Amino acid sequence: MATILGIESSCDETAAAVVRNRSQVLSSVIATQIDIHAKYGGVVPELASRQHVEAIGPVIEQAIETAGIGFGDLDAVAVTSGPGLVGSLLVGLNAAKAIAWQSQIPLVGVNHLEGHVRSVFIENPGIDFPAVALVVSGGHTSLFLLPEEGVYYTLAKTRDDAAGEAFDKVAKLLGLGYPGGPVIDRLAVGADETAVPFTIAWMKDRSLDFSFSGLKTAVRRFAKNHDMDHQSATGGEVSEEVRNLVASFQKAAVDALISRTLKAMKREQVGSVLLAGGVACNTRLRRGFEAMGKKHRYKVFMPSPQYTTDNAAMIAAAGFLHFESGRFDGPDLNADPNWKL
């Protein structure tokens, strides 16, 4: 049984994890930077890089210690080498190179999006292929066809904002805090999601690509016309009108994600669907996927919340595919901020 150390530093989480035999997570440590970036309403790349430098060593040491092993027990080290913020990626990448050189073990560069897809397999190792996977987060919104294990074809992607990014911007517009996804998810509970009839945008070329800029603009226009922009959630009091607005926005965003996924499922004639990425912890989206699966008799798989956000267990899990096929990287492995899966 192989044991792989995974390292993730593509954005604003510094993470390390030890995974054995593909899905046995011995440890998973995450140092978040939410408090640092919250006052800016989004991730500041330079601040993220500096924080990674400070956190990377202690996070890796804690992951090794929690796993109850030593560096000499590792068979490989897997690291996110793209896509992401280049400065942040380089921190994790250089740490992984040092460990691989010192321990004389293989180095495996992993695509961050592949990591999100493989996060679903940690708790669901027996997923049938072919399948369709929706990866939706603060930086990515993409649909992939998985005809077999380790093979990915892009079916659709966002043409502007990612879904998670739209959640953040709407929350910032209304003064609700950062990150926007969890705040909106919480405020939408019990609110009227039909209060504002937002429409779902489809591409004129009939592609399955996503677009959330129009929805974001519609929210801004409605908020401004009704004097809702930049209300503060300080003190925990948010008006019913604002709660209805964010609930309506969330419904429109989720409906856009589900409708395109359903269309892809029918077009590709597959029976398994995967939901992954940070937005996969949204309760409205999870319920929607479960309902879609029940109605159309699809098998729906999604990771538990701990594996939806950026984490290193998913990177190690993806690393096993490369390790088992002998696809290793050398010391010249570089960060690729625009690496496409």
Percentage of residues in the chain having pLDDT higher than 70: 98
Name the band, by pLDDT with cuts 50, 70 and 90, for residue 228: confident
Go through the chain and tell me how many residues it has: 341
| Alpha carbon separation from 127 to 142, 156, 276 (Å, rounded) | 20, 22, 14
Identify the pLDDT of residue 234: 47
Burial 171-186 (b: 16+ CB within 10 A, else e): bbbbbbbbbbbbbbbe
Identify the pLDDT of residue 231: 57
Name the band, by pLDDT with cuts 50, 70 and 90, for residue 1: confident
Cα 40 from Cα 117, distance rounded (Å):
30
Reference 111, options 322, 332, 331, 294; nearest CA is 322
Peptide bond just before 179 cis, omega within 30 deg: yes
- Inform me whether the pLDDT recorded for 235 exceeds 80: no
Q: Is 146 helix (H, G, I), strand (E, B) or coil?
A: strand
Could you read off the pLDDT of 47-102 as tens digits, one per residue?
Answer: 999 999 999 999 999 999 999 999 999 999 999 999 999 999 999 999 999 999 99
pTM: 0.93
The more confident residue out of 201 and 259 is 259
Domains, the chain, ranges and CATH? 3-117+307-324 (3.30.420.40), 129-270 (3.30.420.40)
